[in-house]
Amino acid sequence: MSTHFPNQVFPVYWYEDHVRLIDQTRLPNEFGVVEISRSDDMALAIKTMIVRGAPAIGVAAAYGMYLGAREIQTDDREKFLTELEKVAVKLRATRPTAVNLFWAIDRMVKTARQTVGNVAFLKESLLETAKSINAEDIATCEAIGDHGLSVLPQTPEPLRLLTHCNAGALATAGYGTALGVVRSAWREGRLERLYADETRPRLQGAKLTTWECVQDGIPVTLITDNMAAHCMKQGLIDAVVVGADRIAANGDAANKIGTYSLAIVAQAHNVPFFVAAPLSTVDFSLSEGSQIPIEERDSVEVYQVGETRICPPGVEFYNPAFDVTPAHLITAIITEFGAIQPADLIQFHEKQVG
């Protein structure tokens, strides 16, 4: 675990006999935690974005599977596995885009099916697996951050990086993917400043990314989403680093709405555009990005800012939460095993995982 960032936050973790989540809907004005002891409450916390960010909801769902397992009242192994599948169905229905959620739930189901022993032992194994997923994600993010150092522009002066949404400690089990790269660059004296897009409609950049930077003393400048092109034209940005919710086998990457336009703007200004994500974010069952399911959220997120309605009655709304950046706009994908070209994903995966 990194000792360089003593204020590092952990948005989801096992505490005594339940899960503790940082309530991300209350940041930055209030820091609060939510105690989760039941699988229904975990499903609701994921849906309502108390916990959010692709790897973080994967970890939360893994714990949700254990909490659901704990609620099953039977000693019959087959009945237990049938009931556990119902918990999986409930948790899979929370958010559709981030593949990490499905990856973690599948790993928990596989653990239950493959573990030899009685129901009590299966339950214990599920808790251990969820804790492993949690710990592995922190180590994965630290590796992503450090691998990012080899692909960031090698300039004599420290870099000015731009990010979108929040792919930080709050979006993972800790340290972050895109913000992991930012943190590693800061630790090595290679970062001058981070520019953070506010990220309408839910403002994860303004509320969460800047909050994380302030905790760690990383210089951060908040801009609205429509300022990125201007900043690049002014020569203020050396590289863009974002996270991903799901990457197709051809390297097309789904991330927070607005990422695609940022990639186009970066290409127009010759600014390198990096996607930082664990290899578990790649969905090799999808050949291209158009197959990635895109979550649509409540229109209130578009027509209201805070408590204020910003348009008259009679207007219609569209609120896709993610978009897909085509592989050809991505300079490299930074994974825990190193940085690669989007086109080399399949070959790379075969080499790493076999």
Tell me which residues are annotated as active site.
245
- Binding status of residue 245 toward ligand MRU by CB under 6 A: yes
- Residues binding ligand MRU: what is the number (CB under 6 A)? 17
Pick the stretch among 2-10, 115-123, 132-140, 240-248 that binds ligand MRU (CB under 6 A): 240-248
Instruction: Confirm if 177 and 243 have CB atoms less than 8 A apart.
Output: yes
Which is closer to ligand MRU, CB of 66 or CB of 175?
175
- Only one residue has tokens 């609120």, namely 319
Residue choice 54, 67, 144, 292 for contact with ligand MRU (CB under 6 A):
54
- Binding status of residue 342 toward ligand MRU by CB under 6 A: no
Start-to-end CA distance of the chain, whole Å, equals 27
- Per-state percent for the chain, helix, strand, coil, to nearest 5: 45, 20, 35
Which is closer to ligand MRU, CB of 53 or CB of 68?
53
Question: 3-state class of 195 per DSSP?
Answer: strand
- Binding status of residue 243 toward ligand MRU by CB under 6 A: yes
| CB-closest chain residue to ligand MRU | 243
Packing angle between helix 77-92 and helix 119-151, nearest 10 degrees? Answer: 40
Which is closer to ligand MRU, CB of 84 or CB of 151?
151
- Binding status of residue 183 toward ligand MRU by CB under 6 A: no
Alpha-carbon distances of 302 from 60, 209, 287, 309, rounded to whole Å: 27, 20, 31, 9
Task: List, in sequence order, the alpha helices (H) in 152-235.
Answer: 178-187, 204, 210-216, 228-233
Residue choice 94, 204, 331, 335 for contact with ligand MRU (CB under 6 A):
204
Dig out the tokens for 24 from the structure.
């991300």
Which is closer to ligand MRU, CB of 296 or CB of 350?
296
Q: Rule CB under 6 A: which residues touch ligand MRU?
A: 52-55, 98, 165, 167, 171-172, 177, 204, 243-245, 255-256, 321
